[in-house]
Amino acid sequence: MRWHGYRSENRYIVFQCLQHTLDFGPAHWRILALCHERRNLAEYEGHLEIDEQLVKELVQVADLLLEKVSALAPLP
């Protein structure tokens, strides 16, 4: 989306679009959204709470996302 010049003010919308652009279901994109929300809490409010299970899930989701993006046809 960004390659086409789109930059959302709301990251949640970008995560939701993954369902339609990469067939990346809610169970996956919600992990990305949750991690982004927690990252913002740490960055802007100084509240950092590490959840090891969530980190493991994030790594798995990131690997799957990389796999799906890598399978896309090259841009013209």
C-alpha distance from residue 61 to each of 8, 15, 49 (Å):
21, 12, 20
Residues 16, 11, 14, 70: what is their CA dihedral angle, to the nearest 10 degrees? -110
Per-residue pLDDT of 4-56, as tens digits, reads 666 667 778 888 989 998 999 999 999 999 999 999 999 999 989 999 999 99
Structure tokens at 71: 């399978």
Confidence of residue 75 (pLDDT cuts 50, 70, 90): confident
pLDDT at residue 74 in the model: 85
CA distance 12 to 74: 26
Residue 76 has pLDDT above 80, yes or no: no
Give the number of other CB atoms < 10 A from CB of residue 54: 14
